[in-house]
């Protein structure tokens, strides 16, 4: 790791600590009420999900639509451990993540031979199979779901997210990370350059699943009741949308998009039944209007004068993001 | 006898899947995208027929025609508004847009008609047809006849007509087709119109066989039909029909002999199996990577 990367890491760590302190203080003094605390926690869980999917879809370049499946495995394993083993929460979280990672590995081996739309559909299929299995085995209590104690605190979620982002950042910046990105750019060329493509694909996929499992465990112990229907196709789509809106392969973008896409629907709640309609329109407009990522848009917005000539091009893009 | 009855049962749902799968296959073949909103077109088709028949009180044939034409126009509009601007961008952007369109259609109908299931008008008396002590309902029969009829007509259309030829050319190589003077935009529009029209027929069959419709009916149906299209080899009309029938039979047999809750898992299992063993599908041709 060179000097600039280290410097960047330290500044971002300090920055996140300041954010943590401010938020913690605001919560302790009830400046942020319980409702918004809940949204904040969900947003940070979504940050974990989006960052982990970004590793598989953004950096490795594999479109997957089954992330909620891994999340559900983490959630269920973690909850079952809490209920039946009585082991401490942190251990359960890790166990859940490891199981999710292993499942990701197993699914990854055969699946990742496929590309593009086919991969998308097959991961979707695995997602649905996991859901149906959870629905039909006794220990998960089927459609009635599991009731688990509330263990997830703001601190736990925040530091899990921090660890997730740190690990993903380190992976991406490492030698292996460059191999992963090279697979995204050109699989055949990477293979010819001596990169073990299938090894990297499955490992990256498994790591991505591992963190999805972590998010699942946190989610289960925050929401306190989990049913298989929570982790369906729509949830996977939601996570994928965050990654795409944030810009594939952008760590910052995934974080910002996850927060925006969690908070935005809350504001749309005022329109209650038109909420999903607006969401859909935002999605379509954003996709058509933008080919670049959200971070870039914000950057351009901040330097209005400098980019005045460019603004014309990006006008429609801003509308898509702001709505 | 019971087994054969189940197979026939499966064939009739399979027919419905096949009609939807043909829409997927044509659109995928020509525009190289999964039209995730196709499932919602089926839902819209069912609602159009319901609206014209039950709310406006017009006779069944008008309702059916309105539904088919309405869906064809809707399909073309969606293509023009949402997919055309993205024709040259990555498959992910198109995928998300398609998902956005499917949410949009779902929620528009949710707002207009409410989330509760409503009963579909009975265009067809729910009689049975007896053949060698086998009971086949009229709806099953209709579904099968429509599937085979539409597939045959479509094959003729694609293989014999000028527009069909243009479609095949565009699906083979868009750029080259354009150079040969084919209007690519029009060809893609027509493909969407035909696919959506077939979707409307499938929607009406759905309404007739389940007699209840709701705004969510398209999602699962759409995914299963896509699986049928992949199973048969995407881009292949005959394959889509065979794939649809296989999926229908597999589902019916699972419901009859294993458990109704596992039917979805079996369908997805078939998809996984086929993609791993023969990724190009039953009738698909293998395309080699060019280095």
Contact yes or no for A217/A71 (Cβ under 8 A): no
| pLDDT tens column, A137-180 | 888 888 888 888 888 888 999 999 999 999 999 999 899 999 99
- For residue A284, the chain B residue with the least C-alpha distance is B97
Contact yes or no for B69/B194 (Cβ under 8 A): no
Taken in order A166, A179, A115, B266, the sign of the CA dihedral is negative
What secondary structure does DSSP assign to B185-198, as a single string?
HHHHHHHHHHHHHH
Nearest Cα of chain A lies from the Cα of B85 at a distance, in angstroms, of: 7
Determine phi and psi for A311, rounding to 5 degrees.
-60, -35
Of A224, A215, A230, nearest in space to A82 by CA: A224
Q: Sorting pLDDT into bands at 50, 70 and 90, what band is A316?
A: very low
Question: Highest-confidence range of A243-252, A267-276, B185-194, by mean pLDDT?
Answer: B185-194
Reported pTM:
0.84
B14: its two tokens: 């399979």
- Residue B8's CB is within 10 A of a number of other CB atoms, namely 19
Q: Sorting pLDDT into bands at 50, 70 and 90, what band is B69?
A: very high
Q: Which residue has the higher pLDDT, B219 or A115?
A: B219
The span from the CA of A122 to the CA of A106, in Å, is: 14
Mean residue pLDDT of chain A comes to 84
Mean residue pLDDT of chain B comes to 87
Determine whether the interchain pair A118/B230 forms a contact, defined as Cβ–Cβ distance below 8 Å.
yes
| pLDDT tens column, A219-266 | 999 998 999 988 988 899 889 888 888 888 888 889 999 998 888 878
| ipTM of the modeled complex | 0.82
Q: Name the residue facing B100 among A125, A135, A284 (closest C-beta).
A: A284
Q: Name the residue facing B279 among A114, A237, A240 (closest C-beta).
A: A114
For residue B92, the chain A residues in CB contact (below 8 A) are 57, 63, 244, 248
What secondary structure does DSSP assign to A30-45, as a single string?
TSS-HHHHHHHHHHHH
Q: How many CB pairs under 8 A join A and B?
A: 108
Mean pLDDT value of segment A262-279 = 79
pLDDT value of residue B259: 79
pLDDT of B135 strictly over 80:
no
Task: Say how many CA atoms lie within 13 Å of B193 toward its Cβ.
Answer: 14
Q: Which residue has the higher pLDDT, A315 or B177?
A: B177
Q: What percent of chain A has pLDDT over 90?
A: 36
Maximum C-alpha span of chain A: 62
Q: Sorting pLDDT into bands at 50, 70 and 90, what band is B277?
A: confident
Q: What percent of chain A has pLDDT over 70?
A: 89
Q: Where are the beta strands (DSSP E) in chain B?
A: 118-119, 128-131, 134-137, 212-213
The span from the CA of B87 to the CA of A101, in Å, is: 36
Q: Sorting pLDDT into bands at 50, 70 and 90, what band is B101?
A: very high
Structural Rg of chain A based on CA atoms: 20
pLDDT value of residue B142: 85
Q: Where are the beta strands (DSSP E) in B53-92?
A: none
How far is CA A205 from its chain centroid? 13
Contact yes or no for B26/B187 (Cβ under 8 A): no
Name the 3-class secondary structure at A5: helix
The span from the CA of A207 to the CA of A47, in Å, is: 16
The span from the CA of B250 to the CA of B245, in Å, is: 9
Contact yes or no for A123/A53 (Cβ under 8 A): no
pLDDT of B229 strictly over 50:
yes
Least confident of A209-218, A302-311, B18-27, B185-194: A302-311
What secondary structure does DSSP assign to A120-155, as a single string?
HHHHHHHHHHHHHHHHHSTTTTGGG-EE------HH
- For chain A, what percentages of helix, strand and coil (3-state, to nearest 5) are there? 80, 0, 15
Helices B138-160 & B162-172 angle (0-180, nearest 10): 80
């Amino acid at each position: 790791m060179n000097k600039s990367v280290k410097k960047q890491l330290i500044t971002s760590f300090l920055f996140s600590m300041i954010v943590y302190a401010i938020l913690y203080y605001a919560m302790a003094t009830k400046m942020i009420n319980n409702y918004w605390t809940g949204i904040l926690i969900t947003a940070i869980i979504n940050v974990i999900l989006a960052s982990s999917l970004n590793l598989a879809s953004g950096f490795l370049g594999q479109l997957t639509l089954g992330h909620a499946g891994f999340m559900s495995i983490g959630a269920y394993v973690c909850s079952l451990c809490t209920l039946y083993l009585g082991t401490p929460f942190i251990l359960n979280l890790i166990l859940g993540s490891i199981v999710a990672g292993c499942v990701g590995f197993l699914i990854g081996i055969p699946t990742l031979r496929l590309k593009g739309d086919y991969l998308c559909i097959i991961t979707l299929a695995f997602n649905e199979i996991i859901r149906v299995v959870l629905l039909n085995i006794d220990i998960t209590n089927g459609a009635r779901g599991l009731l688990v104690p509330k263990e997830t605190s703001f601190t736990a979620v925040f530091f899990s997210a921090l660890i997730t982002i740190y690990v993903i950042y380190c992976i991406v910046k490492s030698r292996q990370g460059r191999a992963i990105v090279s697979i995204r750019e050109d699989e055949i060329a990477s293979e010819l350059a001596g990169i073990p493509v299938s090894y990297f694909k499955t490992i990256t996929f498994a790591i991505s699943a591992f963190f999805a499992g972590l998010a699942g465990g946190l989610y289960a112990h925050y929401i306190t009741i989990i049913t298989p229907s929570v982790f369906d196709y729509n949830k996977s789509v939601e996570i994928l949308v965050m990654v795409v809106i944030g810009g594939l392969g952008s760590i910052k973008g995934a974080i910002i998009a996850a927060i925006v896409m969690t908070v935005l629907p809350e504001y749309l709640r005022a329109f209650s039944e038109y909420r999903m309609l607006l969401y859909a329109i935002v999605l379509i407009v954003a996709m058509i209007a933008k080919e670049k990522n959200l971070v870039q848009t914000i950057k351009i917005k901040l330097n209005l004068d400098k980019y005045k000539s460019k603004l014309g091009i990006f006008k429609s893009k801003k509308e898509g993001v702001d709505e | 006898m019971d087994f054969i009855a189940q197979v026939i049962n499966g064939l009739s749902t399979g027919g419905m899947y096949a009609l939807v799968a043909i829409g997927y296959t044509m659109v995928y073949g020509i525009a190289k995208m999964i039209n995730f909103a196709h499932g919602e077109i089926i839902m819209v088709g069912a609602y159009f027929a319901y609206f014209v028949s039950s709310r406006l009180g017009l006779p069944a044939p008008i309702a059916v025609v309105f539904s088919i034409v309405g869906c064809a126009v809707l399909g073309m509009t969606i293509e023009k508004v949402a997919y055309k601007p993205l024709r040259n961008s990555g498959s992910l952007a198109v995928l998300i847009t398609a998902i956005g369109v499917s949410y949009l259609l779902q929620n528009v109908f949710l707002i207009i008609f409410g989330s509760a299931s409503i009963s579909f008008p009975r265009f067809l008396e729910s009689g049975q047809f007896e053949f060698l002590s086998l009971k086949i309902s009229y709806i099953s029969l209709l579904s099968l006849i429509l599937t085979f009829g539409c597939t045959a007509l479509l094959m003729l259309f694609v293989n014999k007509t000028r527009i069909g030829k243009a479609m095949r050319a565009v699906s083979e190589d868009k750029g080259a087709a354009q150079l040969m003077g084919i209007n690519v935009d029009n060809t893609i529009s027509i493909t969407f119109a035909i696919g959506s029209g077939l979707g409307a027929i499938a929607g009406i069959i759905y309404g007739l066989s389940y007699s209840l419709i709701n705004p969510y009916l398209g999602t699962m149906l759409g995914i299963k039909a896509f699986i049928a299209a992949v199973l048969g080899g995407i881009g292949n009309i005959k394959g889509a029909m065979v794939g649809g029938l296989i999926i229908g039979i597999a589902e019916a047999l699972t419901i009859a002999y294993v458990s109704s809750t596992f039917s979805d898992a079996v369908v997805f299992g078939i998809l996984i199996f086929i993609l791993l063993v023969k990724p190009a599908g039953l009738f698909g041709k293998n395309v080699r990577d060019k280095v």
